[in-house]
Chains A and B, each alone.
Chain A
Amino acid sequence: MNRRFVRRVLVLLLSALVGALLAGRSDAVEYRWQVTTGARDFVTSEPTCEKVARAAGMLNSNREATNIIPSFCSVNPLPLTVGQSFSVNYRVVTPASSVTGVQVTLLAVLAEEQGAMPMTAVLETWSYQRVLILCACLLVFVVGFNTTRAL
C-alpha cells in the first residue's frame, strides 16, 4: 500500500465522518421549556424528558419517588415534532416530603423553520439567494473534488 493510497482513503473516511456529523447536526431540534415549580421558575433547554424532569426537581433516586420521572415522561414523551407544545401540571413529592406542583410548559421548539437558533439571521427566501447558494455549493463541490483528485 503506497502512501498516496493511504492518503486518499484517509480523506474519504474523514469527509464521510464530518459529513455524517453535519447531517446529524442538521436534524438537531432545540427545545425551550418554561418550568414553574413551587420553589423557582426557570427556563431550560434540556433535550430529553428525563433531564427536564430532573431540572424541575423531580428526583428519581429516593425510594418514595422511584417512578416519578418515568411516569412524568410517559405522559410527556420527548422528542416532540416541530410545532407541538403542551403545558401540564404535575404534582411531585420531593425528598423533603413537601408536595409541589410542577408546571412544565414547552415554550418553543427551535428548529429549521423557527429561525431561533444562535446563528440565525433568516435569509429572505428570494430566488436569487437560492441560486447564489446553489452556485456556491457547485463551486465548493468542484474545489473539493479537485483537491482530493490531485492527492
Chain B
Amino acid sequence: MTVEQAVGAILICWLWGLGCGAIFALFRNCWSRWIN
C-alpha cells in the first residue's frame, strides 16, 4: 500500500462519515418515532 492509497482511504472514510452523518441527520425525524 502506498502513502497515496493510505491517504485516499482515510479521506474516503472521512467523506463516508460525512455522508452517513448527513443521511442520519436528514432522516432522524423519520425513525425517531420508531425508536421512541
Binding site for B on A (CB under 8 A): 5, 8-9, 11-12, 15-16, 18-19, 22-23, 25-26, 112, 115, 117, 119-123, 125, 129-130, 133, 136-138, 140-151
Contacts and interface: CB of A to CB of B under 8 A. Distances in A.
What 6 pairs across the A-B complex have the smallest Cβ distances? A144-B17, A148-B21, A141-B17, A137-B13, A12-B22, A140-B14
Given A22-B8, A23-B12, A25-B8, A11 B18 contact: yes
B3 A133 contact: no
A130 B4 CA distance: 14
Interface residues of B, number: 26
A27 B14 CA distance: 19
B31 to A, nearest CB: 14
Contacts, number: 116
Nearest to B27: A8
Contacts of A122: 1-3
Nearest to B8: A26
Given A18-B15, A136-B10, A137-B10, 16 more contacts: A11-B22, A12-B23, A15-B19, A15-B22, A23-B12, A26-B5, A112-B2, A112-B5, A115-B2, A119-B3, A119-B7, A141-B20, A142-B17, A144-B15, A144-B19, A147-B21
